[in-house]
Chains A and B, each alone.
Chain A
Amino acid sequence: MSFITGVGLTPFGKHEGSSSLDLMSRAAQAALDDAGLERADIDGILCGYSTVSPHIMLATVFAEHFGIRPSYAHAVQVGGATGLAMTMLAHHLVEAAVARNVLVVAGENRLTGQSRDASIQALAQVGHPDYEVPLGPTIPAYYGLVANRYMHEYGVTEEDLAEFAVLMRAHACTHPGAQFRDSITVGDVMASKPVAMPLKLLDCCPVSDGGAAFVISRERTGEAGVRIRGCAQAHTHQHVTAAPALSELGAEISVARAREATGLAISHVRYAAIYDSFTITLAMLLEDLGLAGRGEAAARVRAGHFSRDGAMPLNTHGGLLSYGHCGVGGAMAHLVETHLQMTGRAANRQVRDASIALLHGDGGVLSSHVSMFLERVR
């Protein structure tokens, strides 16, 4: 068994003068404090990567900086799926008694540490170096291609996609740490600048500074426990050119494996934390995971289904689209918010029942997937 015993999250946006290590340290300290643990209690460290400060041994760089001498440490790189992949590994390390308390941490000054062009350019390199990158694609273009095809096959419109941006912004408006807190409308999304059609500026997550961390432990440290019920991955391709048909993408495979591992069904889920790098990402993943029928996710947004008071509250902190995206820490904010919801600490954002949560991360261009079920235990 493994428990998420502590979480830490910085506000996202501009942290002028903060390095990646600073942001990682701030989040890590918050997670330790939340778990009620000291540095000496941590015997495992998993960390993400920083595009601003790349290093071949970031986990030990961080461990030395933060002041921990762990018995297990390394970095993990699975793009946007890294946070949940690290959590999955920590779960297995703890279950296998390799470590007692694993600190999972990521942070990056992606917004102020480099130019926006440099960020976009660095991320475009997930494309094939010979067969894709020379064509000048960007991450929005890779997802724009997927969006164009998905909309064609399932009758989804640009206005449908805009609903997800509006929903994430509405949620961000209730979180003081969110990067964007001015409410927007479908009209605003439609009128925003074209980036890579059909995706416009407000269909895309921003670039942010920020950090996030959690502690995964063999034993509970607090009153309310959040247990990792089970998780699974699927990796079908790296490059969008080599992606399988839309009906064969990895989210469906990984969630099926996670359902099998836990014995849980989608009907058990009370809270959803789903990767949302673009509006199309969120729409597709909701439908791939079975949280909405094909082509029906937008209608469910309009009906309030995914709102705080709806049947399936979703990314109540505002997601990558509006809380912000600082790289690996971006999707880790989804887990932090889930933990706050499950432990009744989400303040004005608190949902009625977050007893069982489904989390899903996606890396690359729907290339790498991690699905995870969390359960509240008393």
Chain B
Amino acid sequence: MSERLADWTKGEQAVIYQTCTACGHVQYFRRAFCAACGASDSREQRASGKGRVYATSLVCRAATPETRAHVPYNILLVDCAEGFRMMAHGENDLAIGDEVSASFKRFAGKLVPFFAKDG
């Protein structure tokens, strides 16, 4: 297996995904193996940050003091160009089907991916 690349969950401004060198399966949640075929030689790569909005939910009621400071914030599911889906934040007026690109923002003390509409 290739060396682990740091991503936003580790505080780096990057979205990382894995491609199985045996079966070609693409996965976003990092594992030491391919969840489709079990092979242990997945390749880690940095994603382009390009994608399309699959779903949105504007959170208006948060559960912790840290997150409450940010309401309303828009939670997205984004279908990324490389073939995986991820959860992220984004502009409040995004709609399903919008073409978007990722940047990164601070949220409740951590770095999170934030998508904005292209063009």
Contact = CB atoms under 8 A, between A and B. Distances in A.
A347 interface: no
Given A131-B86, A137-B87, A196 B70 contact: no
Nearest to B63: A120
A149 interface: yes
Interface residues of A, number: 34
17 contacts: A131-B9, A131-B29, A131-B87, A135-B112, A136-B62, A136-B107, A138-B59, A138-B61, A141-B59, A144-B59, A145-B77, A148-B55, A149-B96, A194-B60, A194-B72, A196-B58, A197-B60
Contact of B57 (A130, A134, A148, A152): A148
A149 B70 CA distance: 24
Contact of A195 (B29, B55, B60, B112): B60
Contacts of A242: 29, 85
A128 interface: yes
A242 to B, nearest CB: 7
A241 B78 CA distance: 9
Max count, chain A CB within 10 A of own CB: residue among B28, B56, B73, B86:
B56
Contacts of A148: 55-57, 96
B45 interface: no
Interface of A (DSSP majority class): helix
B29 A128 contact: yes
Given A130-B9, A134-B110, A241 B59 contact: no
B67 interface: yes
A219 interface: no
A193 interface: yes
A132 interface: yes
B97 to A, nearest CB: 8
A136 B60 CA distance: 11
A140 interface: yes
B64 A117 contact: yes
B54 interface: yes
Interface of A: 117, 120-121, 124, 128, 130-132, 134-138, 140-142, 144-149, 152, 193-199, 239-242
Contacts, number: 104
Contacts of B67: 136
Contact of B64 (A121, A135, A141, A196): A121
A197 B96 CA distance: 13
A239 B86 CA distance: 11
Interface string B11-40: 000000000000000001110000000000
Interface in B57-114: 57-64, 67, 70, 72-73, 75-77, 85-89, 96, 107-108, 110, 112
B60 A145 contact: no
Contacts of B110: 134
Contacts of B30: 130
A141 B75 contact: yes
Given A130-B9, A197-B60, A241-B77, A146 B107 contact: no
Contacts of B70: 136
A194 B61 contact: yes
Nearest to A129: B9
A147 B14 CA distance: 29
Given A145-B75, A149-B55, A132 B87 contact: yes
A137 B56 CA distance: 12
A194 B58 contact: yes
A144 B72 CA distance: 14
Nearest to B62: A136
Most chain B CB within 10 A, of A137, A141, A193, A194, is at A141
A134 B86 CA distance: 13
A197 B61 CA distance: 10
A378 to B, nearest CB: 48
A241 B61 contact: no
A194 B73 CA distance: 12
A242 B54 CA distance: 12
Given A120-B63, A131-B29, A138-B63, A144 B57 contact: yes
Nearest to A195: B61
A165 to B, nearest CB: 17
Given A135-B89, A239-B29, A241-B86, 5 more contacts: A130-B29, A134-B108, A134-B112, A137-B59, A148-B96
B75 A149 contact: no
A138 B77 CA distance: 14
A238 B92 CA distance: 26
